[in-house]
Amino acid sequence: MSNLLPVLDVSSSATAVAEPCCTPLTRAPLAVEDAERAAGMFKALGDPVRLRLFSNVASADGGETCVCDIQDVGVSQPTVSHHLKKLREAGLLESERRGTWVYYRVAPGVLAVMAALLTPDA
């Protein structure tokens, strides 16, 4: 239940190599293990409510936002929390408590990784 989705070398924030993290889907058949990880990320975005929550965070000024500012997505507040947890577990979001409120931001590198995976051939 821990250490889900290392998201390939997104963890290489230290070495900071500019090399593309992962082979595009279109380049070669995805290995079983890579498919497992990548599918986890896509799955996390595969729910309309979750996708809107993610978009709300991703488009927030300053790169982060309070839960209280994005929870108007048509479901109950516990459900919002549940979805945010899923996004966190998938490695797409990070959260931090500051005083009364909890702030969410997009995990660094995640967008680039997913975009790279979907890079068309041409």
Partner DNA sequence: GGTTTGATTCGACGGCTGTCGATGTCCTGA
Partner DNA sequence: TCAGGACATCGACAGCCGTCGAATCAAACC
75 part of the interface to DNA, by CB under 7 A: yes
Residue type, position 43, single letter: K
Backbone angles phi, psi at 75, to 5 degrees: -125, 170
Question: x/- binding map, residues 75-104, to its own copies, per CB under 8 A?
Answer: ------------------------------
End-to-end CA distance of the chain: 39
CA atoms within 13 A on the CB side of 24: 9
Q: Which of 7, 22, 38, 84 binds DNA (CB under 7 A)?
A: 84
Q: Which of 9, 21, 56, 67 binds its own copies (CB under 8 A)?
A: 56
Give the max Cα distance, the chain: 49
Q: Which of 51, 95, 114, 116 binds DNA (CB under 7 A)?
A: 95
Nearest approach, Cβ of residue 17 and its own copies (Å): 17
